[in-house]
Amino acid sequence: MKSHRKELWFETTTRRAYLNITSQVEAELRASGIREGLVLVNAMHITASVFINDDESGLHGDFERWLEKLAPEKPYAQYAHNGYEDNADAHLKRQVMGREVVVAITEGRLDLGSWEQIFYGEFDGKRRKRVLVKIIGE
């Protein structure tokens, strides 16, 4: 069995963002030479997420509105965590959207559904954060 590891780095200009990282994961799969196996893609920061869904701007807007209803950014004083940083809402949003995805690799390709894409979700941006891509297989 072979393995391949790569860190992808992101720095958004906004506090929250949804970035389609499918092509970057596919590039790492090609670099790995692995044809059958699994890829793990996970956010290495507690206020960011990796998830799979459709790449449609209306849906991304729906995510934003829904997450703001669940865990509104303001008022900051509503959260016990806030103090050093005002990012408690970002921790909660990450908890809902998830830490990682695992995707099967079949014949050298990501085995995704028709509309599925891999996304990096940023909930407390404007600083560098990383995503781990770990590929194992043959």
The domain spanning residue 57 has which CATH number? 2.60.120.460
pTM of the full structure: 0.96
Read off the pLDDT band of 16 (50, 70, 90).
Answer: very high
Answer yes or no: is pLDDT of 56 > 90: yes
Query: Do the beta carbons of residue 9 and residue 128 sit within 8 Å?
Result: yes
Measured between alpha carbons, how far is residue 55 from residues 4, 22, 47, 63, 90 in Å?
Answer: 26, 10, 21, 12, 21
CA gap 111, 61 in Å, rounded: 26
Tally of structural domains, the chain: 1
- 3-class DSSP state of 112: coil
Range of the domain at 36: 2-137
Q: Report the pLDDT value the prediction gives residue 84, as an integer from 0 to 100.
A: 80
Mean local confidence (pLDDT), 55-78: 97
